[in-house]
Amino acid sequence: MSFSEAGASALGIFGGTFDPIHYGHLRLAETAREALGLAGVRLTPAGQPPHRATPGASGAHRLAMARLAAADNPAFEVDPAEVESAQASFTILTLERLRATLGTERPLVLLLGVDAFLGLPTWRRWTELFDFAHVAVANRPGYSLDESRLPDDLARHVEQRRAAPEALAGAPAGHLTSFSMTPLAISATDIRSRAANGQSLRYLLPPPVLDYISRHQLYF
Ligand code: ATP
């Protein structure tokens, strides 16, 4: 039985284009697990992301790379549903689907880097996300969570929902918290551009993902 099915402790949900998945993503998920006391983290590669250009690698490749990256961590699981769905990927739909299988009581924590958090008001039915999950935000080099500069609607949620990480276990959804991770200025955009320029990608992402990229000639 996987950690998603077992027990009632909080479960992390971490979505992204993962084009490709890299150590910034993995470190965020691992730090969140530890800092927020999560049973595990479900890495959820997006299918066709609504907010951005078509990814450089197909959904099948991005899913395969996420699986390789997660394989050696028993606290990580990869959720293929968004890639396998014909629908556009919206996080709210993923959370609705999870609630349908996991029930309404289990704490779910949506994990976001600061850049993703700042873009939250552009997401489909974004205020409803808090009905389904807590939100936890990690720092990311190059982006600041300066609360005095947040758009009004996001600032209101920060004010009303702010909670300490320990509070997440006490409710299924609705809180907003932050946690700090070792800052890693790694981005998939930079990795794709290095690959296209024939530069080394070593030490930016796990070796099995590196091998996969070169075997399938991705991003060249
Ligand atoms: P791209 O450069 O293609 O936009 P990315 O590296 O930002 O990709 P995404 O798949 O878009 O990766 O990001 C998924 C999630 O991971 C987002 O919540 C994002 O904020 C977070 N994230 C990605 N890289 C880092 C990093 N280096 N540090 C902290 N958070 C990160």
Q: How far is the CA of 16 from the centre of ligand 1 (A)?
A: 7
Residue 33 covered by a domain: yes
Residue 123 covered by a domain: yes
State the CATH number of the domain containing residue 160: 3.40.50.620
Give me the phi and psi of 197, to 5 degrees please.
Answer: -95, 5
Highest mean pLDDT among 37-51, 53-67, 135-149, 196-210: 196-210
What is the residue with the minimal CA distance to atom 19 of ligand 1? 113
Protein residues with CB under 6 Å of any ligand 1 atom = 16-19, 24-25, 28, 112-113, 115-116, 138, 140, 184, 186-189
Neighbours of 45 (CB within 10 A): 30
Find all residues with CB under 8 Å of 220, minimum gap 6, and list them: 195, 196, 198
Quote the tokens at residue 1: 């039985």
Residue 3 covered by a domain: no
What is the residue with the minimal CA distance to atom 25 of ligand 1? 24
What is the residue with the minimal CA distance to atom 29 of ligand 1? 140
Per the document, the length of the chain is 220
* CA 166 remoteness from chain centre: 20
Residue 6 covered by a domain: no
What is the residue with the minimal CA distance to atom 17 of ligand 1? 113
Residue 52 covered by a domain: yes
Neighbours of 164 (CB within 10 A): 8
* CA 40 remoteness from chain centre: 13
Ligand 1 atom nearest to CA at 17: 10
Q: How far apart are the first and last CA of the chain?
A: 39
Q: pLDDT tens for residues 19-38? A: 999 999 999 999 999 999 99
Q: pLDDT tens for residues 158-189? A: 999 999 999 999 999 999 999 999 999 999 99
Give me the phi and psi of 13, to 5 degrees please.
Answer: -120, 120
Q: pLDDT tens for residues 90-124? A: 999 999 999 999 999 999 999 999 999 999 999 99
Domain range for residue 124?
14-216
Q: How many helices (H) and strands (E) does the chain have?
A: 9, 6
Instruction: Inform me whether the pLDDT recorded for 43 exceeds 70.
Output: yes
Q: pLDDT tens for residues 122-133? A: 999 999 999 999
Neighbours of 99 (CB within 10 A): 18
pTM exceeding the 0.75 threshold for the entire prediction: yes
Assess contact for 80 and 63: CB atoms under 8 A.
Answer: yes
Number of domains in the chain: 1
Residue 211 covered by a domain: yes
Residue 104 covered by a domain: yes
Residue 1 covered by a domain: no
Assess contact for 134 and 176: CB atoms under 8 A.
Answer: yes
Give the position of tokens 């490749």. Answer: 61
